[in-house]
Structure 1
Amino acid sequence: MRADAERSTARILEAAEAVLADDPNASLERIGDAAGVARATVHRRFSSRQALLDALSERLNERYLLVIEQASVRTAPPVLALHRVSEIVFELKMSHRFTITLASAPSREVQDGLDLLFTRLHAAGAITAAGPAWCRRVYLALMNEVYLLPDDAPELAEAGGRAGLLVRTVLGALGGR
């Protein structure tokens, strides 16, 4: 893809995220207007509305893969990595609210990264639960619950924010300290 086409595609995706967060039924024409491109350009880049939604989901998944890398899941002390993953994911969830609603399950690569993190947490003695897939499912379920808490929830203040509450709760739920 040419550089200008890549820039147009990126602008369309950014505009789609913003416009659809406001109005999930917004037309592709409205998304094109917000991106500063013609509706025909949107249709050239994305053959259908579903193709655009799929691209938004794929883009979010790529960001999740970057989270695994940025949190140094492979090398950082595992509790620190868990906290960092949680912080970054909550930032993503807050800034990409519409796309989050599209995502069903993380990709296999993201799941593998989280499984590695929970394997490292177990090996370090931070949790007693040994099954990384189970730990990942508990983590993702609790993440959703913490995400849904109102900003003024007392639990958030007591734990120092969403990431703090999630990490403390996950470690406790998985037999950690």
Structure 2
Amino acid sequence: MGKLRSDAERSMRAIMAAAEDVLSASPVATMEQIAEAAGVARATIHRRFASREALIEAMEVAAWREILEAVLAARPHTAPPLVTLHQATANILQIKPCWRFTLARPVPLSQEAQAVQAEVMGLCEAVLGKLLGPGADIAWARQVYLALLGEAAHGTPPASGPASGPESSPASGRDPDALATRVIDTLMHGVQRTA
């Protein structure tokens, strides 16, 4: 039973990974195109997912659970807030590029994914609240942080500076710790830094 379950789980992950690639390239791709990319029969996908929307919902739940696990691994309840924010940022920067299509939706389709997303956002606001202190506009800080995080994960590398050049593009594996430092420095100090 355990081997069957792990085989089914691997199959589902392979389908979701193929769907992510296909849907990133063409958001209107069909289940048939996804099946072809996954190297499985269309019937196999339909056995696992009742519809295209069900597949996308499963992808959203998986992506948001990965992000939640990444945030929890940064120990938001026990570590100093700056340490938590840096580690969570570095962790998330390793996940976001793998779920570019799925995480681009402003509101997930399923209630389950929305609940996990809300938990992540609550942890984010709690850490930012500890870091920025009373009187800070936490909702605004969260929005700015998320924008910086998205730019770091998917944006074009800057034209100059220590993190420039083709080797530093997100697709070629920029250093998540260096990117996390840049995101947090920009959040805390703006774009101008004194040397």
Query: Structure 1 length as normaliser, TM-score?
Result: 0.78
- 1:79-102 deviation digits (Å, cap 9, x = unpaired): 121111212222222232222223
Cross-structure match for 1:172: 189
DSSP-derived class of the 1:151 partner: coil
Confirm or deny: 8 A CA contact 1:156 1:162 kept in the other structure: no
Q: Answer yes or no: is the 8 Å Cα contact 2:71–2:92 preserved in 1.
A: no
Contact 1:156 1:165 in 2 (8 A): no
What residue is the counterpart of 1:55 in the other structure? Answer: 58
Q: Which residue of 2 aligns with 1:154?
A: 160
Measure the CA separation in 2 of the matches of 1:149 and 1:18.
Answer: 18
**Distance in structure 2 (CA, Å) of the matches to 1:156 and 1:104:** 35
Gaps in structure 2 of 5+ consecutive residues: 109-113, 165-176, 191-195
Matches within 5 A, 1:24-173: 24-104=27-107, 107-122=117-132, 129-147=135-153, 149-154=155-160, 157=163, 161-172=178-189
Alpha-carbon distance between aligned partners in 2 of 1:74 and 1:24, rounded to the nearest angstrom: 38
CA contact (8 A) 2:71 2:91 kept: no
Structure 2 residue identity aligned to 1:81? T
The one-character-per-residue Cα deviations of 1:7-37 (angstroms, maximum 9, x if unpaired) are 3222211221122233333321222233232
Q: Secondary structure at the match of 2:40?
A: coil
| Closer, same or farther: CA 169–73 of 1 in aligned 2, 3 Å | same
Query: For 1:104, what is the secondary structure of its paired residue?
Result: coil
Gaps of 5+ in 1: none
Deviations along 1:141-166, one digit per CA (max 9) or x if unpaired, are 333344454124436639x8432221
- The residue identity in structure 1 corresponding to 2:107 is S
8 Å CA contact 1:15, 1:31 repeated in 2: yes
CA distance in 1, matches of 2:153, 2:19: 22
Which has the larger displacement, 78-87 or 130-139? Answer: 130-139
CA distance in 1, matches of 2:160, 2:181: 13
1:117, distance to aligned residue in structure 2 (A): 0.9
* Alpha-carbon distance between aligned partners in 2 of 1:129 and 1:60, rounded to the nearest angstrom: 33
Percent identical residues: 37
CA distance in 1, matches of 2:60, 2:159: 29
Q: C-alpha separation between the residues in 2 aligned to 1:131 and 1:68? A: 21
8 Å CA contact 1:28–1:49 kept in 2: the answer is yes
How far residue 129 of structure 1 moved from its aligned partner, in angstroms, is 4.7
CA RMSD of aligned residues (A): 2.8
Q: Is the 8 A contact 2:76 2:123 kept in 1?
A: yes
